Amino acid sequence: MDLTRMVIQVFHARPQVKRMSRWGILVKFISGSVTDLLQMAVLLDAMDRVGSQFYLGMGLQYWTSAILNLAISQHYLIMLFIRTQYQLLNTELRKVIEESNELSWNPPRQGTFMTRCCNLADQLEDLAKLQSQLQLIMKQLEEVFGVQGALVYGGYYLSSVSYIYLIYSILKYGYENMNMTLTSVILSLVWCFFYYLDGMLNMSVMLYVQDDHEEMLRLLEERTLFAPGLDVRLEEAFEKLQLQLIRNPFKIDVMKLYDVNRGTTMAMFANLLSHSIFLIQYDMENFEKEII
């Protein structure tokens, strides 16, 4: 409830994020819906080849997956909201920096100079307040979706290894020997594509938010190009915003177990590939001997 209240509060203050994020919402809706529909098709196709005692388990599996996908979609929408807010924030910050730079090198008359400096300082304070709210939403989001995030990461990891081994087994033994039909193979491959596309959307929006935060830090470094002589209040507003970002570094983690960034993502893909190779090597060393 606190998370919803904070999101709605920021949304009412800046409703233009709705227009900026509509394509992201549409792509997520399509990928999530197609993934669920294909999973249902895979389960319905499998019912023809299994006994009735498996129906309940397959139904529970689909129901659990649908609930988890709903939580993932909620997490994605809030992350997309944070990203669009950061994009707006960086756009406004860039304008403030450009105007401040011009003001430092070409100061107008004293009265106009002070008025413009105070106006820019007010804008910087509003931006600092917005950034603090976004970071608070991000912290609350990690607490609410921590368990789901761990389950999702574990599920994607294990399913990736399983499907790589399944593809290897299909190529090695043939889908007929694995009690599969051509229809089930095609449905499974198409489902895998949309399943991992949906996962990449969730991952990419988190990485893009971190990129936008880094962009904000780079923009603030441009204040070193200002000529001396700006108003003291404007200089203090820049320093406060910069110190705020330094003291509260932006990071995304899963239940304090590991950080989510480009480095850990590449390490996860590397471990995924290594474990898949180990599993295939074990199959080649043991099961081929039994066949011979």
* pLDDT tens, residue order, the chain (292 aa): 788 888 888 887 777 777 878 888 888 888 888 888 887 777 777 666 655 666 677 677 777 777 778 888 888 888 999 999 999 999 999 999 999 888 888 777 777 888 888 899 999 999 999 999 998 988 888 888 878 778 888 888 888 888 888 888 888 888 888 777 888 888 888 888 888 888 888 889 989 999 999 999 999 888 888 888 788 888 889 999 999 988 888 888 877 777 888 888 888 888 888 888 888 888 887 765 544 4
- Identity at 9, one-letter amino acid code: Q
pLDDT of residue 86: 92
Q: Whole-angstrom Cα distance, residue 197 to residue 191?
A: 10
pLDDT of residue 292: 44
Query: CB pairs under 8 A, 24+ apart, for 96-102?
Result: 96/120, 96/123, 96/124, 96/127, 97/219, 97/220, 97/222, 97/223, 100/223, 100/226, 100/230, 100/234, 100/238, 101/222, 101/225, 101/226
Question: What is this structure's pTM?
Answer: 0.83
At a CB cut-off of 8 Å and minimum separation 6, what does 266 contact?
Answer: none
DSSP annotation of 231 reads: -
Residue 59: alpha-carbon gap to chain centroid: 29
Strand partners, 254: 258
Q: Whole-angstrom Cα distance, residue 90 to residue 241?
A: 13
3-state secondary structure of 195: helix
Q: Specify whether the CB–CB gap between 63 and 74 falls below 8 A.
A: no
pLDDT of residue 90: 93
Give Cα separations from 188 to 163, 176, 181, 191, 279 (angstroms): 9, 15, 11, 5, 21
Which helix (H) or strand (E) is 154 found in, with range? helix 146-173
